[in-house]
């Protein structure tokens, strides 16, 4: 443990695997491969170029890019120098990027595309420490930008630098106690905070995952979520540490295409990914012939019966075994084919996932290793085990992590995966821990038979004027699972009843309108059509039929445009900024309570 260091561990894998493929990635419609040996050579070249630029030990270096092999190379090059990687979401606004660059005192930033380069140039005057920009996309003209260089040229600078001894000396001084990464929180309720994650944090994260999950160097991990998100960053570092082949997804809109091309065995995803697949499957089923619908539902019921037995390590009775083989051949294999056909399990976290959807995927033969974590815990608190897990919960604490329920039902965590605090924010750090050293997650939960369930965020809980407590995430999950709903924000704090602002999934809604003879000339006109409002009323009522009466949405309004980061309504991790939304739509909300 004392010698562990993320970058040095990777170089051990590079020496072990040599000419085997480490990374696959698409570019200009062509799939490319990078061997472990080539990956190591490019990381060393990047590290030496950073050294030549004067990067000091402990210095913060930013990465402002979509997923790509260069992201991974830059990350490990920074770590090789005992530097600190600061990820910035590729979708961040210029203002958000400026805050991070200044707060972390960043002098060098790697950028992916023209969009990120333009944002950095826009904040140049407001970020006085920023001295150099390294651009991954070599098709972007850099003439007239004196502080910018293409990554390819940057690597050549490193190869010519001749500072190999200094690089090896840095690596030799590397310590498990070094700060590895500074990841900023979403800032849903205020100013973003830089979460300090040390190499020791990743050591405990990797160790816990090795003990909980069955993985090997034969696995293929598709890097789908942004590497700027701790869930994907921690997982991809772990995957490389295990010798897996990592495939980079540079365009989330093509994820199904990429899965069917690359056939991954493992892929991290957030609940919205499963919700969309589930909604699409059942939307198509609604218009299917009766016989096909009957066959599909029979296959899912059969799959569920088999799953419930296998989950408990029990053999299938002969007749069920035969039925399940038929169900797999006729239906279940086709569902598995949507996600590439080879998935062994999906690590899943980041938001609530309905039990119904989780059980559907398990019935289809697709294992979801649902878990729970935060940026402050290196995305590692709980996770389903291979057997004897309980759908509808986020599993049991992962090895080396302790969980308890504190005041107000708050989930509190202790263990090696927990951050040591927030960068330059001692007061916020002190507030984040209990007097006896447990991290306050801010989430509300319960533990039953060792299984943790998350019910909501403490700051999100609403109390009606009648004194009833409402958990908005539950309501939003039930309604948001719908094929025709893109976004939803509930309202109800200190109000007589619950209401909701809903952004329709307009592609689906417009198709529905055309099929049903609903005439419209604009989205504004479409969402005000009585037939559309009635359509949503019925779906909301059906999707929330299991809620208590005081939890149900009594009124709602359909919105013509989505909540966006640019308007400050959502965070880079797609979390709602409720205060901003409620202020912006105050007039609309008040009319629902007249």
CA distance 474 to 454: 10
Of 453, 447, 269, 458, nearest to 349 by C-alpha is 269
Instruction: Count up the domains in the chain and report the number.
Output: 3
User: Tokens 């479409």 identify what position?
Assistant: 526
What's residue 188's pLDDT?
A: 59
* 96 belongs to a structural domain: yes
**Higher-confidence position of 352 and 79:** 79
pLDDT digits (tens, 9 = 90+) for 324-356: 999 999 999 999 999 999 999 999 998 888 899
Indicate the pairing of strand 396-397 with strand 382-383. Answer: antiparallel
Q: Is 502 helix (H, G, I), strand (E, B) or coil?
A: strand
Opening angle at CA 346, ends 389 and 277, nearest 5 = 110
Mean pLDDT across the chain: 94
Tell me what the mean pLDDT of segment 208-227 comes to: 96
pTM higher than 0.75 for the full model? yes
User: Tokens 């005439």 identify what position?
Assistant: 519
User: Tokens 């150099």 identify what position?
Assistant: 132
* 197 belongs to a structural domain: no
Domain end marker among 175, 207, 231: 175
Q: Looking at the structure, do residues 10 and 35 belong to the same domain, yes or no?
A: yes
What's residue 474's pLDDT?
A: 86
Q: Looking at the structure, do residues 440 and 521 belong to the same domain, yes or no?
A: no
CA distance 508 to 483: 7
* 238 belongs to a structural domain: no
Identify whether the C-beta of residue 402 lies closer than 8 Å to the C-beta of residue 439.
Answer: no
Domain end marker among 418, 441, 457: 457
What are the residues whose beta carbons fall under 8 Å from the beta carbon of 580, sequence distance 6 or more?
Answer: 568, 569
Domain containing residue 531: 462-592
In the structure, what pLDDT confidence band is assigned to residue 190 with cuts at 50, 70 and 90? low
* 198 belongs to a structural domain: no
pLDDT digits (tens, 9 = 90+) for 109-156: 999 999 999 999 999 888 889 999 999 999 999 988 889 999 999 999
What's residue 348's pLDDT?
A: 94
Tell me what the mean pLDDT of segment 275-294 comes to: 90
Q: Looking at the structure, do residues 477 and 447 belong to the same domain, yes or no?
A: no
Q: Is 506 helix (H, G, I), strand (E, B) or coil?
A: helix
Cα-based distances in Å from 21 to 27, 33, 70, 94, 341:
17, 6, 15, 36, 21
Q: Looking at the structure, do residues 536 and 558 belong to the same domain, yes or no?
A: yes
pLDDT digits (tens, 9 = 90+) for 537-565: 999 999 999 888 889 999 999 999 999 88
Q: Looking at the structure, do residues 316 and 167 belong to the same domain, yes or no?
A: no
pLDDT at 52 over 60: yes
* 283 belongs to a structural domain: yes
* 572 belongs to a structural domain: yes
Q: Looking at the structure, do residues 154 and 293 belong to the same domain, yes or no?
A: no
Q: What is the 3-state secondary structure (H, E, C) of 8-64?
A: HHHHHHHHHHCCCEEEEEEECCEEEEEEHHHHHHHHHHHHHHHHHCCCCCCCEEEEE
CA distance 396 to 166: 45
Burial zone of 199 (CB within 10 Å; 0-12 exposed, 13-18 middle, 19+ buried): buried
* 217 belongs to a structural domain: no
Domain end marker among 155, 175, 195: 175
How far is C-alpha 567 from the geometric centre of its chain's CA atoms?
Answer: 21
pLDDT at 1 over 50: no
Q: Looking at the structure, do residues 427 and 575 belong to the same domain, yes or no?
A: no
pLDDT digits (tens, 9 = 90+) for 250-266: 888 899 999 999 999 99
Tell me what the mean pLDDT of segment 197-220 comes to: 96
Q: Looking at the structure, do residues 25 and 130 belong to the same domain, yes or no?
A: yes
In the structure, what pLDDT confidence band is assigned to residue 2 with cuts at 50, 70 and 90? low
Q: Looking at the structure, do residues 403 and 489 belong to the same domain, yes or no?
A: no
Q: Looking at the structure, do residues 370 and 501 belong to the same domain, yes or no?
A: no
Q: Looking at the structure, do residues 500 and 363 belong to the same domain, yes or no?
A: no
What's residue 272's pLDDT?
A: 86
What's residue 178's pLDDT?
A: 97
pLDDT digits (tens, 9 = 90+) for 368-402: 999 999 999 999 999 999 999 999 999 999 999 99
- Find the CATH number of the domain harbouring 33: 3.40.50.980
Q: 524-531: long-range contacts at Cβ-Cβ below 8 A with a sequence spacing of 24 or more?
A: 524/560, 527/558, 527/559, 527/560, 528/558
* 319 belongs to a structural domain: yes
pLDDT digits (tens, 9 = 90+) for 404-448: 999 989 999 999 999 999 999 999 999 999 999 999 999 999 999
């Amino acid at each position: 443990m004392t010698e562990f260091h993320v970058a040095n561990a990777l170089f051990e894998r590079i020496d072990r695997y040599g000419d085997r493929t480490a990374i696959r990635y698409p570019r200009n419609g062509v799939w490319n491969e990078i061997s472990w040996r080539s990956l190591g050579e490019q990381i060393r070249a990047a590290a030496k170029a950073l050294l030549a630029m004067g990067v000091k030990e402990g210095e913060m270096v930013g990465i402002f890019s979509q997923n790509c092999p260069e992201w991974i190379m830059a990350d490990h090059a920074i770590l090789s120098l005992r530097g600190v990687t600061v990820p910035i979401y590729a979708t961040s606004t210029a203002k958000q990027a400026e805050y991070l660059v200044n707060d972390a005192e960043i002098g060098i930033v790697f950028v992916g595309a023209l969009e990120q380069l333009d944002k950095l140039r826009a904040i140049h005057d407001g970020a006085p420490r920023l001295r150099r920009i390294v651009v991954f996309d070599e098709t972007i003209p850099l003439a007239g930008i004196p502080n910018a260089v293409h990554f390819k040229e940057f690597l050549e600078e490193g190869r010519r630098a001749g500072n190999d001894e200094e690089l090896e000396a840095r690596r030799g001084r590397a310590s498990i106690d070094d700060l590895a990464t500074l990841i900023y929180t979403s800032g849903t309720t205020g100013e973003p905070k830089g979460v300090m994650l040390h190499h020791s944090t990743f050591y405990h994260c990797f160790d816990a995952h090795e003990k909980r999950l069955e993985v090997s160097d034969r696995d293929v991990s598709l890097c789908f979520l942004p590497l700027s998100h701790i869930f994907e960053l921690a997982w991809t570092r772990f995957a490389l540490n295990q010798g897996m082949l990592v495939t980079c997804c540079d365009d989330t809109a093509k994820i199904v295409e990429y899965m069917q091309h690359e056939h991954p065995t493992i892929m991290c995803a957030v609940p919205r990914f499963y919700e969309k697949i589930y909604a699409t499957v059942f939307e198509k089923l609604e218009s299917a012939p009766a016989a096909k619908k009957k066959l599909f539902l029979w296959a899912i019921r059969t799959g569920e019966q088999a799953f419930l037995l296998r989950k408990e390590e029990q053999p299938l009775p002969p007749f069920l075994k035969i039925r399940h083989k038929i169900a797999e051949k006729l239906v279940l294999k086709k569902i598995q084919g949507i996600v590439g056909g080879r998935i062994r399990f999906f690590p899943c976290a980041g938001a609530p996932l309905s039990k119904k959807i989780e059980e559907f995927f398990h019935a289809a033969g697709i294992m979801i290793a649902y878990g729970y974590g935060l940026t402050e815990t290196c995305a590692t608190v709980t996770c389903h085990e291979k057997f004897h897990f309980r759908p509808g919960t986020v599993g049991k604490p992962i090895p080396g992590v302790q969980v308890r329920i504190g005041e107000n039902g708050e989930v509190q965590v202790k263990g090696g995966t927990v951050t040591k605090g927030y960068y330059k924010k001692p007061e916020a750090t002190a507030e984040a821990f209990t007097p006896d050293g447990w991290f306050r997650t801010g989430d509300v939960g319960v533990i039953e038979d060792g299984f943790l369930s998350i019910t909501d965020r403490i700051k999100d809980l609403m109390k009606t004027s009648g004194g009833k407590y409402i958990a908005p995430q539950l309501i939003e999950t039930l309604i948001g699972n719908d094929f025709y709903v893109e976004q939803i924000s509930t309202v109800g704090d200190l109000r007589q009843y619950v209401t909701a602002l809903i952004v329709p999934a307009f592609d689906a809604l417009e198709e529905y309108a055309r099929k049903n003879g609903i005439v419209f000339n604009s989205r504004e006109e479409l969402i005000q059509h009585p037939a559309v409002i009635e359509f949503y009323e019925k779906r909301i009522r059906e999707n929330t039929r299991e809620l208590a009466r005081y939890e149900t949405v009594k009124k709602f309004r359909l919105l013509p445009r989505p909540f966006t980061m640019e308007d400050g309504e959502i965070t880079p991790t797609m979390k709602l900024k409720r205060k901003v939304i409620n202020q912006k739509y105050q007039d609309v909300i008040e009319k629902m309570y007249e």
